[in-house]
Amino acid sequence: MLTSFIGRDEAVRDVAGLLAECRLVTVTGPGGVGKTRLAGEVARHVAGRFADGAWLAELAAVRDPAQVAAVVAAALGIREQREVPLADTLARVLAGQQLLLLVLDNCEHVIGAAAELCAGLLAACDEVRVLATSREPLAVAGEARYRLGPVTAVTEGTANAVKIPSRSSLALVQQDSLKSGHLAWSAMRKM
């Protein structure tokens, strides 16, 4: 079940703005901070700008870096051609697109292969933009980087006393607490 997307409106605007200016944007940050969710929200937010749509290639399950191009091709519905390297087939097909956003999610464990594929596609395909998520940058020329930090909610004292530094954190704590039933709203009103 997808939870609501709280506390990242500014990040969505920032990354969408970067995509308007740069052909490769990588959202970086520690594991579990919300890079995948942010990329999904940004893709939904900017989808109307891309005549050929926004496409997600999920790389988390890829164990062999040599399979990165195959996962991207499968996500795009592009078939491998005999005796033609798959990266070349991708570049040829995508070069004919009007405007396309490719989201490469979870690049960190196949960073070299993801970077190489991005560099090749961006060199060959003027109308392709890439939004990548990774714990580290791809280090491709022209890459814009957006560092994502956590939405913070700080607990103090007991489990029922919560100090909230922002409205976004309050909404997040409220959402999580209502699910578990562990928040005493009277403790929050006293703060």
Residue 111's CB is within 10 A of a number of other CB atoms, namely 19
Helices 9-21, 35-46: axis angle to 10 degrees equals 60
The model's pTM is: 0.79
Q: Which of 83, 85, 121 is nearest to 102 (CA)?
A: 121
| pLDDT surpassing 60 at residue 148 | yes
Any bridge partners for residue 144, and if so which?
A: 25
- Residue range 153-182: mean pLDDT, rounded: 44
Q: What are the tens digits of pLDDT across the range 85-131?
A: 999 999 999 998 889 999 999 999 999 999 999 999 999 999 999 99
Q: How far apart are CA 160 and CA 39, in angstroms?
A: 33
Q: What is the mean pLDDT of the chain?
A: 83
Domains of the chain: 9-147 (3.40.50.300), 154-189 (no CATH)
Is the distance from CB of 90 to CB of 73 less than 8 angstroms? Answer: yes
Least confidently predicted of 4-8, 17-21, 66-70, 84-88 = 4-8
